[in-house]
Structure 1
């Protein structure tokens, strides 16, 4: 007999069978308890994982989606109007969630209204700008035309995750807000230094250097605005509006950049021929007024300029 045990040889057959059943029952009960315990541990672990996932997703969403914020001053139409002497038309900033206010124009005044919807990473926008910057500048400076520029962010996907289109449009909005009369100069510098698609584009330091080259009056405020992407929410909202809503005075939205309107009529000619754009502007201007109603305001000339500036 084993010390402390029971000599099974002295048990009857029925007793041994009953003892085996009892032992099996105990083993099954212990197994059941282990399984319950393991399930509790498993579900607890899954719960922690799910909580971590939910927290992670929430952090991602809140870090990438900001509530609507106020727009920049001098861009109440979602664009900035540059007039004679390259002076910007002043407007109050849009409040958060407020709809843009279309710029009032009077074609009969003889001043041609040119509107540009652009993405600063778009190579076609760069072609149009390089081709027509000089002659548009002459029209603006003489008072023959105003140019209203709407920065959009369509090509973020083509900047290797740096969101250059948004950052460049935000930088333009910062200049419009703090130093609007230097906007035309800064706009030109963005194209002169335009990066290629599928690159990271200019970093914030480079954008701030271009701001300095444009001769702005409030460099430190603009630098902070660029670093903080202060108007990122407005850029996204303005882009959504341009892509989904009819542009003011038209029945169509932006389908690609550049979208160029002259007195509300869409230009679809060459992006690399200054004569083609000039002729279109003169044609549209002529439709708006005739000799009897024309004012002494200089009319854009159809004569080609010399090598266009970028």
Structure 2
């Protein structure tokens, strides 16, 4: 007798095992392929996400380092110079330093102000009409530099920056009324720690000042914050020690008041008598020495909603 049937059965089992092994190998191969495809898809997707994130970050960085556009033509050095008749005068190519003041020149008053600075408002309240009388008569000029040092003190609304931008809008579109608008902004100064005036309120305040021209363009300028980046850049320069009209290399904070380049040390309380005395002293023997008893001229009125 032979074992053929048993051998045939063994062979059949071997064939089945081999077939099962091959099927398992093919399944493993297919699984590996699917896993490689999944990993490749994840890698491609992650790469796309990373590229998009890099693109967004790059755009943000580029926008953040992009230089601010030019400021108003009347504020080439960051401030507007107001002269006789309370009208702006064109700034020279370089701001005068204390040594550059000629005895025959009008006394030069320079002010760095923040429209949310309460000490600035106190100085304005005590001395604005006196300064206006000197400037209006031609005895002095005043350079007003709006800065935004207190931008983070208005519940996130950046009122200090928005108000300085509004002032720059007026310097651009209606410079003859800048001094009156400057007075109006201080007259309606909000308290620090509040949200301040809204853009709509700023528009009504600024365009409500008597004589303001091009009101529609000023409203658009305030809404678009046309000069906000420029104000921010100028503020950074000033706080970094670049202070036109001064020999100072460190900004003491607003208000910074100079007369012929000499820093006025604020008193407590701030009084007009003290500032008048300082003006006469800083002016020295100049032919333009103003009288400390000059009669103030009425300031321009403002109406705000």
> The TM-score by the shorter chain falls in which range?
0.7 to 0.9
- In 1, Cα distance between equivalents of 2:242 and 2:127: 26
Instruction: Compute the displacement of 1:256 (Å).
Output: 1.5
What root-mean-square deviation, in Å, do the aligned CA atoms of Structure 1 and Structure 2 show?
3.2
- In 2, Cα distance between equivalents of 1:110 and 1:73: 23
Q: Are 2:290 and 1:298 aligned?
A: yes
- In 2, Cα distance between equivalents of 1:193 and 1:59: 38
- In 2, Cα distance between equivalents of 1:197 and 1:297: 37
Unaligned runs of at least 5 residues, structure 2: 1-7, 296-300
Instruction: Compute the displacement of 1:151 (Å).
Output: 0.9
Structure 2 counterpart of 1:273: 270
Q: Are 2:99 and 1:101 aligned?
A: no
Q: Equivalent of 2:239, from 243, 246, 269? A: 243
Q: TM-score, normalised by structure 1?
A: 0.78
Structure 2 counterpart of 1:86: 86
Count of aligned residue pairs for this structure pair: 285
Structure 1 counterpart of 2:158: 163
Going from structure 1 to structure 2, the CA distance change for 1:76 and 1:204 (only over 3 Å counts) comes to same
Partner-residue secondary structure (3-state), 2:152:
helix
Q: TM-score, normalised by structure 2?
A: 0.79
Structure 1 counterpart of 2:3: none
Q: Equivalent of 1:198, from 189, 193, 198? A: 193
Native 8 Å contact 1:110 1:297 kept in 2: no
Structure 1 counterpart of 2:135: 140
Structure 2 counterpart of 1:50: 50
Native 8 Å contact 2:134 2:294 kept in 1: no
- In 1, Cα distance between equivalents of 2:282 and 2:237: 26
What whole-Å deviation, never above 9, does each CA across 1:173-226 have from its counterpart, x for those lacking one? 121122212111100111111122333322222222122222212222222222
Instruction: Compute the displacement of 1:301 (Å).
Output: 4.1
Unaligned runs of at least 5 residues, structure 1: 1-7, 93-99, 304-308
Partner-residue secondary structure (3-state), 2:73:
coil
- In 1, Cα distance between equivalents of 2:207 and 2:56: 39
- In 2, Cα distance between equivalents of 1:144 and 1:34: 87
Native 8 Å contact 1:131 1:271 kept in 2: no
Partner-residue secondary structure (3-state), 1:74:
helix
Native 8 Å contact 2:130 2:294 kept in 1: no
Pairing of 1:1-310 with structure 2 (within 5 A):
10-11=10-11, 21-61=21-61, 66-91=66-91, 101-103=94-96, 106=101, 108-109=103-104, 111-215=106-210, 216-248=212-244, 249-270=246-267, 272-274=269-271, 275-286=273-284, 289=285, 294-295=286-287, 298-301=290-293
- In 2, Cα distance between equivalents of 1:202 and 1:55: 36
Partner-residue secondary structure (3-state), 1:148:
strand
Native 8 Å contact 1:127 1:271 kept in 2: no
Going from structure 1 to structure 2, the CA distance change for 1:296 and 1:227 (only over 3 Å counts) comes to closer
What whole-Å deviation, never above 9, does each CA across 1:226-278 have from its counterpart, x for those lacking one? 22222234323322321224424404142421111121112222263213333
